[in-house]
Structure 1
Amino acid sequence: GPGGPEARGRAAGWRWAAYGGVVAATALLHVFAVLMLAAHALTLLVSRAPRRVWWGWGSAAAGAVGAVVPLALVARRQSAQIAWIRHPTPGRLWAVVEEFAGPSALVLAVNLLLLAIAVIRPRRRTLTAVALPLICVPPVLLFALALHRPCFHERYLLFALAGIPLLAAAGADRLAEAVAGRPAEAVTGRPVETLAGRRRAVVAAAGVLAIGCAFAWQFPLHQREREPLSRQDDLAALAAAVGRLTLPGEPVLYDPPKERRIAIAYPRPLAGLRDIALATPGPASGTLYGVDVGPAELLRRLDGVRSAWLIAADEPETRGPKAPVLTGHFRLAYSLCLPGVRLERYVRAGPAH
């Protein structure tokens, strides 16, 4: 019949096919999203899913992985384009928590409290079993992979972000239930159904008020996020300064090579400058920012140069070998500090060879 085992099996098959299609489409948009399958596997494990569910999920997951493998192979050949990413530290995992559950300290604290309530006192264990692995498993797996090949970045984990609001909502629901309590007809003399309806209305109103307060609290932060001064760097201002201060043919160095992004984003002001440290351009090297020469070759190229410009990241831990080469043979004559980046002009300390 229409509701028999065969019909239910066909319906389940279509659902698993749809699941596999959604996972494949998501991973084709970003290959690291395939890590959600590991989170879903843990969900099935802690939920003690029956064998037929494992079979359906495994078939759908295998199909999704098969669809993504060609993209993964192509991406692996182009992995040099993310050579600018450094080996992660454990603090990067906490940075993911701050990025996804923040942005302010108060919002972060409230979210962590709600997450803890949802995990410790779950009202719907199925929701916790889905959301918690989604938050934890992909970041940990990507972090482990990045220890071998640096590829860890917060934006590569946006697909896992959904787990935090799900758990926060579950924690808020559990907290509201605990605060409201259960009506007792014997105490109030009113029907339980009437009091329960009023309680639900009060809880719903409190939820709407909480969401409104959270939005109002964070609205100034979102406004500041869109202002020029909130940027970690200001490439437009730097490009304008380069165009105003430099002359065609002058040598320029980017330290680290990632700072060539200014030439990619604003090529016109830097078009006449000579990238003296570049060994192989980005397209030819298969990288995003190109490959530089070593310190010895750079020193040879600087032989006879009277002055050079340095565009450097304003982060000492990311500085490469170019600044020491310059400071050993040149003196700093000009410096312009902008958010996240510096423009410096060096002139030779002694006579050029």
Structure 2
Amino acid sequence: MVLCAGPAALALVLGLWGITREHSMWRDEAATWQAAHRSLAEIGHMVGHVDVVHGLYYAVMHGVFALFGDSLITLRLPSVLATAAACTLTALTGARLSGRWVGIGAGLALPVVPAVQEYAQEGRSYALVLAFVALATWLLVRALAQPNSRRWAGYAAALLIAALLNWFSLFALAAHAVTTLLARPGRARSIGWALAATGAVAGALPVVLISRAQAEQVSWIKPLGWPTVLGVLITVTISALCARTPHARLPKNLRRDRPHPRVSLAAVALPLCAVPQIGLAAVSLVKPLYITRYVLFAYLGLALLIGALLATLTVRIRKHPRLLLPATLTVALLALLPTELRLRTAQSRVDDVLTAASLVAHARHAADGVLYIPAARRDTALVSPHEFAGLRDLALAQSPVTSGTLKGIEAGLSDIARAVRSAQRIVLVTDPGLLPADSARDRAKQRALAEHFALRSDSIERGRRVSVYERVK
């Protein structure tokens, strides 16, 4: 009971702590919010144009909102619960591979990882991916030890769901391939794994192919930098060092009470930590794609190996060995307290659409039009439409729902200029700073404002800028 209850309880406490993040919602969560409020048919129409990689998640969140209503807690609670499930499954996997103390240590280590805490409180799919990769890993360990068709089918289903939530999770399949080879599985097990893996890949292939046509959505990702490379190297190096501990290598004298399993903890955990991170980093040398959240599930491997390290230290401590886990957990939580506090503030994310909407609500009473630069900042109105009541969207030609997009389709340059000139007072929602517009439509908006309007007020809060312009000529 403690094996599962401890990790799950810790994950829930950390996940629920400050879950509303000072009543803020950043741009990625705003995409979830507006997509989940569409019908299933409208979501299907949208993913044909954008965000096909998140289509299943949007459908799930549509159901969550329909059942429990929409709120910041409802938006993020599935991620909290998924993280708790991932911690429980990690504990079970560690216990099966190397004993109860390894399992408890691994299950408690996972929710403490800062990146896991961050995405446990985010209305996106990454915590759910983490949970299904954890489930697939647990099923793989069981199937390699005692194979049967039901376990391989469950393994394939878990991998497929993870891939449909975000197909970068297929890097976990590559890690599992290494684990399977290291287990020397024999012909029957090899065939079972190959069939399960083939089924998962085949099921996810349509999403992968469609997403290639939507590659422009990740064009904002920057090339690999040294901080990212260093972070990957440090994580993998720590994992490799932990993999040398006795509980990771699993000598027989530590496990006389049970049959020696077909695969060691190191053979499961080290590939799961290293292969996704190194693989995505290698791909990013050709096309920049590396973002930590895309391979968040790699921390499952790190947590398992930390659990092995803690169990090894517990065995070697002669006085009060059982105090090691609670003492280590307390020290880790206290050491990370500044990070934990920051993650639960609005400033921990790029921006906050709710604060921007409240700024618009205060500025809109004397205005008759609104503009967004870039058009993606229209998410402010899509999340809080009541705050924009009475404002005419001067550039919009086709709504996001009708067009099957997240930001709508804007009118031509001349139509935008004409609409801007027809307004008397305009609210502009944009980003902080004075960066030049990166599209002809946005440059047309800026030009019309500069030629015919004067700035009357300007507010910058939580990563968004709301300005009011008044017509002067």
What is the TM-score normalised by the length of structure 2? 0.53
How far did residue 37 of structure 1 move? 1.1
In the TM superposition, what whole-angstrom CA distance separates every residue of 1:225-260 from its partner, at most 9, and x where no partner exists?
A: 334555543333322221221137622111222212
How far did residue 209 of structure 1 move? 1.0
From the CA coordinates, give the structure whose radius of gyration is larger: 1
How far did residue 208 of structure 1 move? 2.8
Distance 1:134 1:217, change over 3 A: same
2:405 alignment counterpart: 287
1:335 alignment counterpart: 458
SS at match of 2:317: helix
Question: Which AA in structure 2 matches 1:238?
Answer: A
Distance 1:153 1:275, change over 3 A: farther
How far did residue 26 of structure 1 move? 3.2
SS at match of 1:345: strand
2:447 is the counterpart of 1:325: yes
1:346 alignment counterpart: 469
Distance 1:117 1:339, change over 3 A: same
SS at match of 1:279: strand
1:234 alignment counterpart: 352
Question: Which AA in structure 1 matches 2:148?
Answer: G
Question: Which AA in structure 2 matches 1:86?
Answer: S
SS at match of 1:308: strand
Of the candidates 243, 256, 262, which is equivalent to residue 380 of structure 2?
A: 262
1:180 alignment counterpart: none
Question: Which AA in structure 2 matches 1:342?
Answer: R
Alignment of 1:1-353 (within 5 A): 11-14=146-149, 15-45=151-181, 50-69=186-205, 72=207, 76=210, 85-91=218-224, 114-118=238-242, 121=244, 123=246, 124-125=248-249, 126-139=264-277, 153-172=291-310, 176=313, 199=317, 202-219=320-337, 221-228=339-346, 230=348, 232-247=350-365, 250-293=368-411, 295=413, 297-314=415-432, 320-321=438-439, 322=442, 324-326=446-448, 328-329=450-451, 330-348=453-471, 351=473
- Tell me how far apart the structure 1 counterparts of residues 236 and 288 of structure 2 sit (CA, whole Å): 28
In the TM superposition, what whole-angstrom CA distance separates every residue of 1:15-35 from its partner, at most 9, and x where no partner exists?
A: 333322332343344444333
Distance 1:161 1:292, change over 3 A: farther
Contact 1:248 1:273 in 2 (8 A): no
SS at match of 1:209: helix
- Tell me how far apart the structure 2 counterparts of residues 338 and 173 of structure 1 sit (CA, whole Å): 47
- Tell me how far apart the structure 2 counterparts of residues 318 and 144 of structure 1 sit (CA, whole Å): 32
How far did residue 127 of structure 1 move? 2.8
In the TM superposition, what whole-angstrom CA distance separates every residue of 1:179-226 from its partner, at most 9, and x where no partner exists?
A: xxxxxxxxxxxxxxxxxx773555542333111211233345434433
Distance 1:166 1:297, change over 3 A: farther
- Tell me how far apart the structure 2 counterparts of residues 285 and 148 of structure 1 sit (CA, whole Å): 32
Question: Which AA in structure 1 matches 2:242?
Answer: A
How far did residue 51 of structure 1 move? 4.2
Contact 1:143 1:152 in 2 (8 A): yes
2:45 alignment counterpart: none
Contact 1:279 1:291 in 2 (8 A): yes
SS at match of 1:303: helix
How far did residue 282 of structure 1 move? 1.4
Question: Which AA in structure 1 matches 2:374?
Answer: P
Question: Comparing both chains, which one has the higher relative contact order based on Cα–Cα distances under 8 Å and sequence gaps of 6 or more?
Answer: 2
SS at match of 1:332: strand
- Tell me how far apart the structure 2 counterparts of residues 53 and 302 of structure 1 sit (CA, whole Å): 67
- Tell me how far apart the structure 2 counterparts of residues 113 and 341 of structure 1 sit (CA, whole Å): 39
- Tell me how far apart the structure 1 counterparts of residues 347 and 277 of structure 2 sit (CA, whole Å): 30
Question: Which AA in structure 2 matches 1:56?
Answer: G
- Tell me how far apart the structure 2 counterparts of residues 201 and 146 of structure 1 sit (CA, whole Å): 48
What is the TM-score normalised by the length of structure 1? 0.69
- Tell me how far apart the structure 1 counterparts of residues 178 and 241 of structure 2 sit (CA, whole Å): 21
SS at match of 2:365: coil
Contact 2:239 2:302 in 1 (8 A): yes
Structure 2 unaligned blocks of 5 or more: 1-142, 250-263
Aligned length: 310
Question: Which AA in structure 2 matches 1:241?
Answer: L
Distance 1:95 1:22, change over 3 A: same
Question: Which AA in structure 2 matches 1:44?
Answer: T
